[in-house]
Chains A and B, each alone.
Chain A
Amino acid sequence: MTMMTGAEIVIRCLQEEKVEYVFGYPGGAVLHIYDALFKQDQVKHVLVRHEQAAVHAADGLARSTHKVGVALVTSGPGATNAVTGIATAYMDSIPLVIISGQVPNEYIGQDAFQECDTVGITRPCVKHNFLVNDVRNLAVTIKKAFYLANSGRPGPVVIDIPKDVTAAKCKFDYPETIQMRSYNPVVKGHLGQIKKAVHLLLEARRPMIYSGGGVILSNGAEQLTRLTRRLGFPITNTLMGLGAYPATDRQFLGMPGMHGTVEANLAMQHCDVLLAIGARFDDRVIGNPQNFSSIPRKIIHVDVDPSSISKRVQVDVPIVGNVPDVLDEMLKLLEAGNASPDAAGLAEWWQQIEEWRAKLCMKYRRRKSVIMPQYVMEKLYEVTGGNAIVTSDVGQHQMWAAQYYKFDQPRRWLNSGGLGTMGVGLPYAIGAALAHPETQVVCVTGEGSIQMCIQELSTAKQFRLPIKIINLNNRYLGMVRQWQEMFYGSRYSESYMDSLPDFVKLAEAYGHVGIRVEKPEDVEAALHKAFVDHKDDLVFMDFITDQKANVFPMVAAGKGLADMILTEDL
């Protein structure tokens, strides 16, 4: 075996893991690694303009594929800038490996230049982290990091490497597999529990399926769709779970929660058996947990993470296991028993649901003079044929995209659901566009969010990524404005976005195409121009939208799911 430097080992390990793109930013503590990167061409490096975007872009790549996203940052500010990206990935269980440089071992604790306690700072927002003090532990640590990141409940793993370790030499030995006595994620669900669950499902008169991001992360969409169709039950997908079940299908009731549909929320509330899969009864999904629990229903909860079960809501049948494995087992039992659900009960339940659905809670008032943001989303859906990968930032535009763009496939909708990080949209689009050169990537954003990572327009130019940016520009931090209107007596404290840049000129300054759209009748033509005429360009579309548009339905924070505010209530 030949001797290799720590830096060479890092790059070699990335090659062994078949990493195609590393998103990063060089600096003092990672110079050896960047030098090793320079001497090869298998692992491609994407130079971002801010470390936060490096992690977001790696995250976007991971969300849109099933691969581990990789980011490389330097010590001190490089690592602290990455923290928002790491915490974002952690909240949504995204598999990432973040390699950070550290000051040399002998300087640690001396308040050296660009020193910070990266392992300490990131500890609460990683699945695990490592400080590698010795080059001999480097390869095995990287192996562990990739294994941890993408097994069990996925998550980000940080590897902090002091600079002297990247210069030191040792023999390279990359383990094929890894065994950790302290880490053995459960795969197969408990068969007795699964039988109990199937029995409950078959007896249900008002069943409901509620699935979350876990189904997407575990590649369980196909099994979920088969099971749902086999049972004929209504289904809802959370914000993180959109695309796990085809949104255009009749059994799909839309998204649940704070901005969910009437039919999804009422079915969640009034069902007698709830099958929760890869979801975590988040406060934005079930509203007030006391209110939710006050209505008697049996709950079956399938999740790979035992700590997600009975965390916010007491569960009757817990099933710990990998989602597709558990659903396969359920399907097998259904086939073997040749059993069917209670047809009469189900028919009555569907009749009730159709009544709720007939309220058409997603309808909104069209305006002749001003562009309604919902209308832009509907047209975007039409123009892209529903086939785009859509990323979003955080706020009203995120909810409108989730409500009006119908996702029929998994991994087509990328957004920060857990942490709610403004600024993810563009870097997510960069990661997704690199991973899917054949697929149209769209970033739906607002004039507030886009400015939080706008510097990445430069990265997108460098790598010639034909992302289409849909900026729903209402000159307000719209979701803040909405809450201030509804709960703070319309006192719009600091939510007006003054002194906005000319986004068209800004896009042009970065070398892209900019289009401003101010009238409803121009929306469709502008989209065509962007998606057809400028197919190969990044196009920044600045839609000047209605300032007063609010997201409905809405369940106010702390209220029960049935307590929805609809448009006509105002």
Chain B
Amino acid sequence: MRHIISILLENEAGALSRVAGLFSARAYNIETLTVAPTEDVSLSRLTIVTSGTDAVIEQITKQLNKLIDVIKVVDLSEAAHIERELMLIKVRAIGKDREEVKRLADIFRGHIVDVTESTYVIELTASGAKLDSFIQAIDAGLILETVRTGVCGIGRGERILKV
């Protein structure tokens, strides 16, 4: 099962490597990892997308909590939440493909943020799964480059992750 785990941790040198190191040392899987400071600059918010059985996810949560720099850990996917990821994708845009790519970007509510005679860069913000479907939808031969931020997420309503 895919899980989105959100972590509040001390914004200190090496804190990220403790989290990343834990995953590699215990052979847990990381699909995506994002990290940035919060409104309180002494805190970083880290989001990891991982997968595993319930027992593995329970261990991941416990092991994360054991790290001294980690303040709080929440499995966002346990309840209602919003998930977003940003992708920049550079595609070949010549001839009839130029129009087709534009149409597809519109359908996925993407924005074309860079235009040349032969290329577009499309910016797309959506759930990880939706970004995957965009990549599926576009002719693979046209894709020149993709870059994705990895997933970030937040609980819906009154579900708040704060110190």
Interface residues of A (CB under 8 A from B): 119-120, 123-124, 127-128, 131, 148, 180-183, 305-307, 309-311, 314
Contacts and interface: CB of A to CB of B under 8 A. Distances in A.
A442 B3 CA distance: 52
Interface residues of B, number: 20
6 contacts: A119-B14, A128-B68, A182-B9, A182-B10, A306-B62, A314-B55
Contact of A307 (B9, B25, B66, B68): B66
A310 B70 CA distance: 21
Contacts of A148: 68
A182 B59 contact: no
Given A305-B66, A310-B55, A181 B163 contact: yes
Nearest to B9: A182
B11 to A, nearest CB: 11
Given A183-B68, A307-B59, 5 more contacts: A180-B68, A306-B66, A307-B63, A307-B66, A310-B58
A538 B70 CA distance: 47
Given A131-B14, A307-B62, A311-B59, A182 B68 contact: yes
Contacts of B70: 182
Contact of B21 (A123, A181, A309, A311): A123
A208 to B, nearest CB: 24
Nearest to B13: A131
Given A181-B163, A306-B62, A307-B63, A123 B68 contact: no
A182 B71 contact: yes
Pick from A128, A182, A183, A306 the residue with the most CB of B within 10 Å: A182
Contacts of B10: 182
Secondary structure at the B interface, as helix, strand, loop or mixed, is helix
B68 A181 contact: no
Given A307-B59, A307-B66, A124 B71 contact: no
B32 interface: no
Given A305-B66, A306-B65, A120 B25 contact: no
A119 B68 CA distance: 14
Pick from B25, B62, B63, B69 the residue with the most CB of A within 10 Å: B62
A243 B116 CA distance: 77
A113 to B, nearest CB: 23
Contacts of B118: none
Contacts of B66: 305-307
A119 B25 CA distance: 16
Pick from B17, B66, B68 the residue with the most CB of A within 10 Å: B68
B130 interface: no
B17 A120 contact: yes
A235 B68 CA distance: 34
Nearest to B18: A123
Interface in B146-163: 163
Nearest to A129: B14
Nearest to A153: B66
A182 B58 CA distance: 19
A124 B68 contact: no
Contacts of B13: 131
B21 A124 contact: yes
A181 B68 CA distance: 10
Contacts of A305: 66
Interface in B17-70: 17-18, 21, 25, 55, 58-59, 62-63, 65-66, 68-70
Contact of B71 (A123, A181, A309): A181
Interface string B61-95: 01101101111000000000000000000000000
B17 A123 contact: yes
Nearest to A182: B71
Contacts of A183: 68
Contacts of B17: 120, 123
A216 B17 CA distance: 32
A131 to B, nearest CB: 7
Contacts of B55: 310, 314
A180 B21 CA distance: 22
Nearest to B71: A182
A148 B62 CA distance: 18
Nearest to B42: A181
B50 to A, nearest CB: 16
A120 B70 CA distance: 18
A152 to B, nearest CB: 9
A400 B9 CA distance: 46
Contacts of B18: 123
Contacts of B62: 306-307, 309
Nearest to A120: B17
